[in-house]
Amino acid sequence: MPLLTCPPAAGRRRQSVNNARVRRRLLCGMALVGCAAAAEGRAAAPGTRTDLRLLVGFPPGGATDVVARLYAEQWRALGNASVLVENKPGAGGWLAVEALSAAPPDGATLLVTPASLLTITPHAYPRSTRYDPLRDLVPVSPLCSFPFAWVVPAAHPARSLDEFRLWASGRGTVAFASPAAGSMPHLPALTAQEWFGLFLPGGSSPEILSLFHRRVGSAQLAAPVVNGLTRLDYQPLLLSPDAFAARLLAEHAEWGQAVRKIELALE
């Protein structure tokens, strides 16, 4: 009895055809995987730069800087990217906003800034402001909100805001201090709350915008960010890009009306 038998010629042909089909399927499968990987690489490319710059228009150690570093550190911890917080203090925060407006929309440069730099400053300094807050920046989301406090010396007779108003009504002028002319604390009549927001350069793609909005949402679920904001008495705040843009647009119009009403002229 032979140890090995050869299949009939027809069987060999069927086996050869089956092997060819298997090879074709494998090759097609490998091609599909390659196409999918390439497509994923193209989709993931926007905003996946590993040398992100997070611009802050104030010196290190200030409130804006601390908030920016909380988010930057969380993004590093998640392995999203290596994030460099770049402080560009000067001109009340304008320099950083101008730097962002001139940056390419490739997802490598972002800005953390108080909303007042977009809603008040362009009205208070119309000739000096060299950026259009409604065109040159893309709102991603607020990062947090925080309240303002009105304080008086311990020896002051007023013990509430109503008492202070009553006390001030009998005087022609009342001196008070604020961080900068035209800033939110300088014009506290319309709102007692402010927020820091994250922004991209104008012209940034929807893919980049969506990516960084997800990163903000992920960071706000992390204990280091929540605890860090809580220590500052800040509250995490997340809005969709559209809702954030609508809110900025409304406040831009509201503050413009307020500045014109009081005839604020700072330049």
Instruction: Give 59-112 pLDDT, tens digit per residue.
Output: 999 999 999 999 999 999 887 668 999 999 988 888 999 999 999 999 999 999
Tokens of 252: 């831009």
Distance separating alpha carbons of residues 122 and 83, to the nearest angstrom: 29
Q: How far is CA 141 from CA 196, 242, 248, 259, in A?
A: 9, 9, 11, 25
The model's pLDDT over 11-63, given as tens digits with 9 standing for 90+, comes to: 444 444 444 443 444 334 333 333 333 333 333 444 455 689 999 999 999 99
Distance separating alpha carbons of residues 91 and 189, to the nearest angstrom: 23
pLDDT of 40: 32
The amino acid occupying position 220 is: Q
Q: How many residues belong to the chain? A: 267
Strands 51-56 and 82-87: what pairing? parallel
Q: How far is CA 143 from CA 28, 91, 139, 217, 226, in A?
A: 46, 23, 11, 9, 11
**At residue 160, does pLDDT exceed 60?**
yes
Distance separating alpha carbons of residues 45 and 199, to the nearest angstrom: 19
Nearest to 219 by CA among 54, 86, 89: 54
Superfamily of domain 46-164+183-262, CATH level 4 = Bordetella uptake gene, domain 1 (3.40.190.150)
Q: Which residues pair with 56 in a beta bridge?
A: 87, 112
Distance separating alpha carbons of residues 198 and 47, to the nearest angstrom: 14
Q: What is the CA radius of gyration of the chain?
A: 29
pTM check: above 0.85: no
- List, in order, residues 6 or more apart from 43 with CB less than 8 Å away: 207
